[in-house]
Amino acid sequence: MSPAIGATLNRVDGRFKVRGESRYSAEVPVPNLTHAVVVNAKIASGRITAIDTSEAERAEGVLAVLTHRNLSPVATVPKLLPSLAGLAAPGQSFFPMQDETIHYAGQPVAIVVADTIERADHAGTLIRFEYAPTPATTLLDQARDQAYVPERIFGGLLPGHASRGDVAKALAEAEVCVDTTYRFAPNHHNPIEPSASTAVWEDADRLTVYDSTQGPNSVQFTLAELLGLPPISIRVVSHAVGGSFGSKAMVWHHPALAALAARHVGRPVRLVLTREQMFTSCGHREEQEQRITLAAGADGRITALRHHKLSLTSPFDDWAEPSLQSPSVAYTSPNYEGIYHLVRGNTITPTFTRAPGEATGMFALECAMDELAERIGVDPLELRLRNYSATDPESGKPWSSSGLTECYQRAAELFGWHGRDPRPRSRREGQWLIGTGMASALYPVTQPVNPQRARARLYNDGTAVVEAGVSEFGTGVFTAMTQVAADGLGIPVERVRFVGGSSDLPNVTAAVGSAGTSAVGSAVHLATTQLRDELIRRAVADDHSPLRGADPAAVQVRDGKMVLRDRPDVGETYADLMHRTFMPDVEVLGTWNPPPQDAGYGVHTFGAQMAEVAVDADLGVVRVRRMVGVFAPGRVLNRKTAHSQLMGGMLWGLGQALLEATRMDPRMGRWANASLGDYLVPVNADAPDVVVDTIEVHDEVVNPLGMKGVGEIGVVGVAAAIANAVHHATGRRQYELPITLEKLL
Ligand code: MOS
């Protein structure tokens, strides 16, 4: 029996998905169901001065029209705390429909409940609102003079500023200095499945919510606080989730609104956000700019890095996606300063979005590095090698594992980097200018704060069910967990069933920050190996077992049979032992306590990205012709799903580079392109040949299986590699994402 971990196993839920049998949160059959539609504020700032709901209330099929006047208020609005903390994780510390104040366009102002979704939608258009608008800030440029440096960002988990050494002195003494500012358009997640909640009250203190989420337990704890109920009153179920990209990492208003509406009408309520509402209801990547100042010697060795970020946040929270973390440790630099500057605007609190922070932070750093390489006349890859840091430059501690230089080497081989003519505009094919570029990819290994749990139960026929509260939103986690469980127990994958997607199951973190699979995987590994060890202990203590008296450490399990390591003919199956000793099943709860973040090592995931572009010399059209990404993500649980995630990440990086932008209309304070027709994401026709490879690194520090995560590092560095390739092709530096064709005319 070869190990299941590392194998290429098709998705265990794939069959259900392609047959249309997966149950999404808006599809769960519920008797007596009603439908809710949210009505959103049209102004970005001000007050509601009058509401007339009479016509809407008279409309056919309408059961209730709820506004702040008749919606029962929420009990407590929890403060923003990222879901890795394992507690309530609201997307913002503001809950709408509690009074007449409007803070951002799209803020919920009414809910209509009707017997059909069409009737609810229609009745929503019949509500008359009068507003007293006040001036709104929706763009950085409107208020950059009001920027402040927050004490802490990210729900208090990260400092607003950090420094080491003396940056000013190093800058004054630098032989070469690169000082550039990059601007980033806001981005929205755009999963295929919009957020949806179906709320069912069994009685006054028993609520089930079918919710499309990255973390059923986060939803449970958040709803408990909002509704003023104990967690035992709330069950959150997430059978299948159609993508997320961070939009379902935190808990937004719709599950609580659905629950409040359902309580009001005394019937189950289904609330599905429209595509347009997905642009105002689940956060986004904030509008931002980042200034990078690099000081270096003539040999390119960096002596100082200054990294300032300026971004737009909400009226309620000091949110900035953490863009400074990976750049601060990417290269050896004795002097460093990183500062977040925030401007309060009339927007929902921004949130985790596809490699939150690193996708933009590493873009800025890696474009500046390319400029530095050009300035001193050194190959961009050679410049990175000269500045490679074998220890965490922040703490001086060794990396728990790295693999970065191997990633560079392998990427260069696969791409054919060496021998590149560094001169811009040196390659041309007809009307197409050809260029190549590269970038480093770094992503932090984020550890959950709370213990992670999983349950394993082995039956006396040798099959096992393994459970944890994680939801499957396309990452392949159910498949990977089946593999971890199979190896932990020593049985084939076909005999394991993994069950997730409910807050009734053992508590695990919401799957965010590329930490989902490693968090639940560690718990599953511990639960299943502890269960295996328990049965081995029972066998060696049993007078009727062929293993009686053996040293438990000398026993291994293969294909459900416990055998002596050096005498595989001596042993018995789990099933034999369990039948003989009247055990119908054995069950173990495994608990993994994540190591503290500062356990004596720097922990990060590393990779290298390379891209080749063709730019139309007359029209400015950029086509990405090929991409190579090589990563060192630690233990790979499933080659196929890991490859898919890394490749998918790289394609999202292409989207970030060339396509993705949400445009704000500052006159209305509203998004101007809130649809999948106008917000461009990469499609097959945009996708070039993508080569993905991994470098094996063993990591004894991060968790029991040495997993560092593949969820998001694929995105990081891609946009910089493309921007650097565009410069190589055209001789024109790119300081703003996305790189649309007018920037190349
Ligand atoms: Mo992921 S964007 O950290 O939910």
**DSSP string covering 254-311:** HHHHHHHHHHHHTS-EEEE--TTGGGTSS--BPPEEEEEEEEE-TT--EEEEEEEEEE
What residues contact residue 267 under an 8 Å CB cut-off, 6+ apart?
32, 33, 34, 63
State the CATH class of domain 32-135+191-244+248-279: alpha beta
Q: What is the pLDDT of residue 496?
A: 98
φ, ψ of residue 639 to 5 degrees: the values are: -55, -40
Rounded distance between C-alpha atoms, residue 545 and residue 574, angstroms: 11
User: Tell me, which fold does domain 146-187+284-446+599-744 have in CATH?
Assistant: Aldehyde Oxidoreductase; domain 4 (3.30.365)
Rounded distance between C-alpha atoms, residue 654 and residue 681, angstroms: 9
Give the chain's mean pLDDT. 97
Q: What is the pLDDT of residue 529?
A: 98
Annotation marks residue 712 as catalytic: yes
Rounded distance between C-alpha atoms, residue 516 and residue 248, angstroms: 13
CA distances from 677 to 125, 196, 247, 437, 688 (A): 23, 21, 19, 30, 22
For ligand 1, the distance from its centroid to the CA atom of residue 355, given in whole angstroms, is 6
For ligand 1, the distance from its centroid to the CA atom of residue 512, given in whole angstroms, is 4
Query: Is the separation of the CB atoms in 556 and 570 below 8 Å?
Result: no
List 343's β-bridge partners, or say none. 312
Question: Does the beta carbon of 517 lie inside 6 Å of ligand 1?
Answer: no
The full length of the chain comes to 745
Confidence of residue 82 (pLDDT cuts 50, 70, 90): confident
Question: Does the beta carbon of 649 lie inside 6 Å of ligand 1?
Answer: no
φ, ψ of residue 670 to 5 degrees: the values are: -125, 155
523: region left, alpha or beta (phi > 0 left; psi from -120 to 50 alpha): alpha
Domain ranges of the chain: 32-135+191-244+248-279, 146-187+284-446+599-744, 451-592
Mutate to test the pocket of ligand 1, among 360, 512, 605 (most ligand atoms within 8 A of CB): 512
pLDDT greater than 90 at residue 704 = yes
Give the 3-state secondary structure of residue 13: coil
Domains 32-135+191-244+248-279 and 451-592 share a fold: no
Rounded distance between C-alpha atoms, residue 702 and residue 600, angstroms: 11
Q: What is the pLDDT of residue 597?
A: 73
Confidence of residue 97 (pLDDT cuts 50, 70, 90): very high
pLDDT greater than 90 at residue 708 = yes
Query: Quick one: which of 141, 139, 153, 185 has its CA closest to 719?
Result: 185
Provide the percentage of residues in the chain whose pLDDT is more than 90. 97
End-to-end CA distance of the chain: 60
Q: Which atom of ligand 1 is nearest to the CA of 511?
A: 4
Q: What's the average model confidence in pLDDT over 17-25?
A: 93
Rounded distance between C-alpha atoms, residue 222 and residue 92, angstroms: 11
> Could you report the per-residue pLDDT of 350-402, keeping only the tens digit for each?
999 999 999 999 999 999 999 999 999 999 999 999 999 999 998 899 999 99
**DSSP string covering 200-248:** EEEETTEEEEEE--S-HHHHHHHHHHHHT--GGGEEEE-SB----TTTT
Domain 451-592 of CATH type 3.40.50.20: no
Question: Does the beta carbon of 239 lie inside 6 Å of ligand 1?
Answer: no
Confidence of residue 81 (pLDDT cuts 50, 70, 90): confident
Provide the percentage of residues in the chain whose pLDDT is more than 70. 100
Query: Is the separation of the CB atoms in 174 and 373 below 8 Å?
Result: no
What residues contact residue 684 under an 8 Å CB cut-off, 6+ apart?
none
Query: Quick one: which of 343, 323, 356 has its CA closest to 147?
Result: 343
pLDDT greater than 80 at residue 507 = yes
Q: What is the pLDDT of residue 155?
A: 85
Q: What is the pLDDT of residue 52?
A: 98
pTM for this entry: 0.97
Q: What's the average model confidence in pLDDT over 207-228?
A: 97
List 291's β-bridge partners, or say none. 181, 308
Active site residue: 587, 712, 736, 742, which one?
712
Q: Which atom of ligand 1 is nearest to the CA of 214?
A: 4
Confidence of residue 210 (pLDDT cuts 50, 70, 90): very high
Instruction: State which amino acid sits at residue 607.
Output: G
Q: What is the pLDDT of residue 83?
A: 81
> Could you report the per-residue pLDDT of 575-634, keeping only the tens digit for each?
999 999 999 999 999 999 999 877 799 999 999 999 999 999 999 999 999 999 999 999
Q: What's the average model confidence in pLDDT over 434-438?
A: 98
pLDDT greater than 80 at residue 1 = no
